[in-house]
Structure 1
Amino acid sequence: MPRMRGPAEKPADFGGVMLKLVRYCKKYLPVIVIALILGAAGTICQIIGPDQLKNMTNAIAKGMPALVHGKPVMGAVDMGEVTRIAWLLVGLYAGYAILGYAQHWMMATVTQRIAQSLRKSISDKINKLPLKYFDHTSYGDVLSRITNDVDAIGQTLGQSLGMLITSVTLFVGSLVMMFYNNVIMTVCAIVVSLLGVVIMMVIMKYSQKYFARQQLALGDVNGHVEEMYSGHIVVKAYNGEADSVRRFKKYNNDLYDSAWKSQFLSGLMNPLMNLVGNLGFVTVCIVGGALAINGQIEFGVIVAFMMYVRLFTQPLSQFAQAFQNLQRCAAASERVFGFLEEPEMSDESKKPTLLGRDPKTGEPTRVRGDVEFKHVSFGYEPGKPIIHDFSASVKAGQKVAIVGPTGAGKSTMVNLLMRFYDIDGGSMSIDGIDTSTVPRSNVHDQFSMVLQDTWVFNGTVKENIAYSKQGVTDEQIEDACKAVGLDHYIRSLPQGYDTVLDDKSSLSQGQRQLMTIARAMVQDAPILILDEATSSVDTRTEELIQKSMDQLTVGRTSFVIAHRLSTIRNADMILVMNHGDIIERGTHDELLARGGFYADLYNSQFSTLVA
């Protein structure tokens, strides 16, 4: 059963955001207008039907027996006229069905195209947004925009917009035809229908607050279950089952109470509206019968009115649903267009691709790997610098370790080097070329990265390791896996290197880390970044990886961020950072001999290991 939706979130600017949506859909507007016209035309066919039934009823009634002086006198039913009206009715209802089908087909096609275009726009936008946007926006929020919000827009355009047009046409058309047939009966039908409108508004007023409470309670239940499931080991370890059950019972009772009231009140809508409709039939029969006896109307008018009353009351509940869905569509559009209007990274399409190119011939060449930082300063927020004045010169092929306490700015420096963020001051260069003068993609091509957080996508082992690298051979992939000690495990998988990895894969965190290291080996970039690359593996595996890393770093400039200082003793240069500044630099032996900040860090780790 689909989850009940709560009340539509109200957009800040309904008119403005709907105008943006219209502009976005402008190339589809002719098709949408044609579809809505077809839907309205089909509804008109439906509206004309009861009037023709009236004519058929009157034609039959003329041929029915009549009493003259107490004796029945047979009339002659004009079957030719009845047949003609019958075929006309068949044509009208067939036209209603065909036009309605055409409208739904066109709107379904158009709305899915619009949803597809919106998803593509969001996907393209994600690649153009600076990383700082995601510093204050959760990935779940972005995911919600590309799924829930786009779906809400598509559903509204595909269903509610057509429903609104046909409902308006049905309501107005029925009202006109009712007045055309008889004013007195129309007024009576309107009075009864107004009773239904009042009842519907009262029910909606009370039910909406319970729908809101239901959504909140549902969020509490889902959040609690997810939290307890993901942390069930901690819950058991601390004997927190009783408290967990108590909280779940409270959330579950709140959900039951709000859901029961909202479902009960909303469930009253159809029976009460049916009651109003039936009262309308009774009213039409009584008033129509009195008018027919007085000879003011024919019997066929009563038959037509009984159908028009249903057609007249039917759109009333649809109006409320359509307007509510339009509000939800506007709220979803506001979030989607708000995302699409976020400031993007600067356009670098005109910047020359200088890294990895011979300056004279322009032919592809390998970057040497000389890296230089000059008085770099940076802050994630204006006025709050994290890196104050960072300067360092790294020669090609050197292994540079960056160490320091948590929050010192180690990972930030690597992010700046790869131009994930733009620096506030100073400059960074590779082989003497300022990285800000070339496209970001040109900078990224020069790096292989192994981060603390492993990332494995849904695909084969082979595809994961060769990610985004063209022309990689099976032999290269296998050699990389052998270097990190992963080859034996992969061959034990059902399809070996062709095994598909997904959320059900039995890869441990350490094995995932080994796979990302193998991926970096296959990329074979001139500059290597290892951000806590061995943080998720055991000591024995760490030794194996360390030997592989030593081989991998030969001939490459390497930046190693490590908390385990024992892993960077052979670094050519160690940069010790604290509070965004380099406070010490030198080799492992030089820094230990100095007896400063690094020596204290190293000795504290060593004493902890000994203890």
Structure 2
Amino acid sequence: MSADHSKQDAPTQGPSAPAVEESTWSVIAVALAPERLRAALVVGAMTLAALSDAAGVGLIVPLMGAVIGVEDVPGTGKAVEWLQSSLSTMFPGQGLLLPVGILIVVVYTLKTGLTVLSSYLSISFFFTAQRKWMCELLEHYMWADYKSVQSQRRGALINNVVYETTWAGKGIKFAFLFMSQVLLVISMMVIMLVVNWQVTLILVTVAGSLAGILWAGSHRYSLGVGRDSLKLNQVISAQVEENLRAIREVKMFGLETRIVSSFRERAYKLIKMLTKFRVMVGVPVPLSELLVVMILIVVLGFVELNSPGGAGRVLPLLAFFGLASHKVFQNGSRAFSGSMSLRRFVPSLALVNQIASKTTEPAKVYSDSGGGPRNTGYESGGDIVLSDVTFTYEQGRGPVIHEVSFDIPMRSTIGILGTTGSGKSTILDLICGLYSDYEGMISVGGQDMRSINFKDWRRGVGLVGQQPVLFRGTIRDNITLGNLHGSEVDVEEAARKAQAHEFIERLPRGYDTELSDEGALSVGQKQRVAIARVIYRDPWLYLFDEATSGLDLKTEAFVQDFVATLADTKTVVIVTHRHSSVREADRVYVLEQGRVVEQGRFEDLQTIPSDIGFNSSAS
């Protein structure tokens, strides 16, 4: 390819996983801060659901006592005695079985409603947060500094918008699940303390020791899996995007096997890591069930051997602690497993927090040049003057253009001629206003370009690139780009001037033809639609960046004829490596290694670099 790729020397590494220096819950708190009221509502519903669940389990004691005819269950506290006394007073002569049964139904009905409510609120929060973050990250990249976006791999950026926001949303989901399970454990512990604090203390000691051992070993492991999977997902997404974009080169250079092998290796590494992680996450639940069974067997044996009435008299208490212990250990182990999954998603949450926090108001982005407010009173037009302009993509890599100076008079046609890597496309990007961190001065009508509001500036600029860019939507949408200031007549007039109207009319749906299919139009047809788009905008400044490179002779001739029609009415800048594109230019600037080495009319040039083509005397 002969296009200028000097700007591709910029770094292409994607954003890496941020080092998670804050605690897990600090990261979550930052993520929840914008929706703290909704988050509080979710936690409130979860708390009430947990309390009602624990209360229902607590009613097992009087229920079992009523079933076996034991009104005074040994080992229970005053709260149970008070409840039994109150129910006996409210329902005299009926026993406790019916009132306790009714109360259990009421409590569990309440618990079911609150559980469904908390589930709805948490799931709604999760999906809303995910959608919000996707929009915020895309907005950030759309409004971000052009240089910062260009310096990152597109696949990594796509991964961040589409996948990392999903993992961050799952992090919030697991955070809510963790909180609900912890709240249930705490509520159950409270009921257990009320029933018998001695037995509860023993269970808490055993459970706390086990949890402490497992927690210490899992914290760093889970965070490490999260960071490594984030990096691998970014690399895999970037690799897929890059290889599919270069599919022609892949096929022509026989890279299919190499690429698939590399992809398979990374995918295997990711799957192996996540499989091991999921197995580790699943271990605590069956382990807790085994522990509960062992504790119950030991307690039953101890009571049978040491209690005068055997295990039958304390059966209500044993049934309660059996069920309560099962819930505590089961939900505690699930909370532990959930915390491992949660920590795996913390790097994604931290990345989303980091990017979303940098989102800037669009009005500020395009009205602040970094050195103060931009002038909002700019009027289109004027001579463009570059004075000693030097630009570097990255510190330490050397400048791409060096002390470039030249003039672009109003309503003139200027050619910028150079080989690949000479810096000509970089100069065009500077004229577009996409970079502002250059040395020297670029002025328009005597006004420093860095002081001009970018939104005002770009209204008067029409860019036609080497690869015509068309967006999803209809041909009409691609010409107007949502700017409906003109009529249907204006759209067709722009297409006629671009010699696109005839082939558009031959399409089955004409201007309403959808362009979602890459093969819907040929390259030449796409270029004509792209030119029609610029004509429709009616800019005062036309910029052509290798606009004829890769086109057939007929389409190239059309582009050159179109440029000729703009003479003396519009300012035209043509960046190219082709002599034929600048023969009729008012002035041509020849670039070599980022410097202007000659300027003048094309026929007067003497030092055209040999690898551009033939020299001027031979032409």
Same fold (TM over 0.5): yes
Please tell me whether the aligned partners of residues 374 and 453 of structure 2 are also in contact (alpha carbons under 8 angstroms).
yes
The Cα shift of 1:421 comes to: 1.0
The Cα shift of 1:445 comes to: 1.4
Please tell me whether the aligned partners of residues 11 and 330 of structure 1 are also in contact (alpha carbons under 8 angstroms).
no
Shift of the 557–472 alpha-carbon distance from structure 1 to 2, 3 Å rule, reads: same
Please tell me whether the aligned partners of residues 218 and 340 of structure 2 are also in contact (alpha carbons under 8 angstroms).
no
Shift of the 35–241 alpha-carbon distance from structure 1 to 2, 3 Å rule, reads: closer
TM-score, normalized by length of structure 1? 0.80
The Cα shift of 1:489 comes to: 3.0
1:361 corresponds in structure 2 to: none
For 1:485, the aligned partner's letter is Q
Structure 2 counterparts to residues 91-490 of structure 1, below 5 A:
91-157=106-172, 159-182=173-196, 186=200, 270-287=285-302, 289-290=304-305, 294=309, 297-340=313-356, 347-348=367-368, 351-356=374-379, 367-382=380-395, 384-490=398-504
Shift of the 232–558 alpha-carbon distance from structure 1 to 2, 3 Å rule, reads: closer
SS in 1 for 2:539: coil
Shift of the 416–536 alpha-carbon distance from structure 1 to 2, 3 Å rule, reads: same
Please tell me whether the aligned partners of residues 178 and 305 of structure 1 are also in contact (alpha carbons under 8 angstroms).
yes
Please tell me whether the aligned partners of residues 211 and 262 of structure 1 are also in contact (alpha carbons under 8 angstroms).
no
Please tell me whether the aligned partners of residues 474 and 512 of structure 2 are also in contact (alpha carbons under 8 angstroms).
yes
Please tell me whether the aligned partners of residues 207 and 261 of structure 1 are also in contact (alpha carbons under 8 angstroms).
no
Moved more, 42-51 or 229-238: 229-238
Separation (CA, whole Å) in 2 of partners of 1:62 and 1:187: 28
Separation (CA, whole Å) in 2 of partners of 1:575 and 1:535: 19
The Cα shift of 1:166 comes to: 2.5
Shift of the 272–423 alpha-carbon distance from structure 1 to 2, 3 Å rule, reads: closer
Structure 2 counterparts to residues 531-570 of structure 1, below 5 A:
531-570=545-584
SS in 2 for 1:454: coil
SS in 1 for 2:565: helix
Shift of the 41–291 alpha-carbon distance from structure 1 to 2, 3 Å rule, reads: farther
Please tell me whether the aligned partners of residues 352 and 438 of structure 1 are also in contact (alpha carbons under 8 angstroms).
yes
2:538 corresponds in structure 1 to: 524
Moved more, 232-241 or 531-540: 232-241
Unaligned runs of 5+ in 2: 1-16, 72-91
**Could you tell me which of 63, 82, 87 is aligned with 2:102?**
87
Please tell me whether the aligned partners of residues 285 and 334 of structure 2 are also in contact (alpha carbons under 8 angstroms).
no
Does structure 1 residue 62 correspond to structure 2 residue 76? no
1:46 corresponds in structure 2 to: 53
For 1:418, the aligned partner's letter is C
Query: Deviations 1:550-594 (Å, cap 9, x if unpaired)?
Result: 224551000000111112101111011123222111111111xxx
Separation (CA, whole Å) in 2 of partners of 1:210 and 1:600: 51
SS in 2 for 1:54: helix
Please tell me whether the aligned partners of residues 410 and 577 of structure 1 are also in contact (alpha carbons under 8 angstroms).
yes
Please tell me whether the aligned partners of residues 389 and 438 of structure 2 are also in contact (alpha carbons under 8 angstroms).
yes
Shift of the 29–491 alpha-carbon distance from structure 1 to 2, 3 Å rule, reads: same
Separation (CA, whole Å) in 1 of partners of 2:579 and 2:425: 16
The Cα shift of 1:86 comes to: 1.3
Separation (CA, whole Å) in 2 of partners of 1:328 and 1:183: 36
Shift of the 237–353 alpha-carbon distance from structure 1 to 2, 3 Å rule, reads: closer
Query: Deviations 1:501-548 (Å, cap 9, x if unpaired)?
Result: 114552333332222122111111001000011113111221122222
Moved more, 188-197 or 280-289: 188-197
Query: Deviations 1:44-87 (Å, cap 9, x if unpaired)?
Result: 111121221220111121189xxxxxxxxxxxx97552221112
Separation (CA, whole Å) in 2 of partners of 1:164 and 1:255: 25
Moved more, 337-346 or 384-393: 337-346
The Cα shift of 1:211 comes to: 9.8
Separation (CA, whole Å) in 2 of partners of 1:135 and 1:225: 18
SS in 1 for 2:405: strand
Aligned residues: 573
Shift of the 596–342 alpha-carbon distance from structure 1 to 2, 3 Å rule, reads: same
2:10 corresponds in structure 1 to: none
The Cα shift of 1:227 comes to: 7.4
Shift of the 262–131 alpha-carbon distance from structure 1 to 2, 3 Å rule, reads: closer
Separation (CA, whole Å) in 2 of partners of 1:20 and 1:260: 25
Please tell me whether the aligned partners of residues 174 and 312 of structure 1 are also in contact (alpha carbons under 8 angstroms).
yes
The Cα shift of 1:338 comes to: 2.8
1:597 corresponds in structure 2 to: 608
For 1:88, the aligned partner's letter is L
Shift of the 212–579 alpha-carbon distance from structure 1 to 2, 3 Å rule, reads: closer
Instruction: Tell me how large the CA RMSD over aligned residues is.
Output: 4.1
SS in 1 for 2:59: helix
Please tell me whether the aligned partners of residues 400 and 573 of structure 1 are also in contact (alpha carbons under 8 angstroms).
yes
Separation (CA, whole Å) in 2 of partners of 1:223 and 1:128: 21
2:29 corresponds in structure 1 to: 22
Shift of the 305–217 alpha-carbon distance from structure 1 to 2, 3 Å rule, reads: same
Separation (CA, whole Å) in 1 of partners of 2:249 and 2:30: 52
The Cα shift of 1:441 comes to: 1.2
SS in 2 for 1:501: coil
Separation (CA, whole Å) in 1 of partners of 2:262 and 2:423: 40
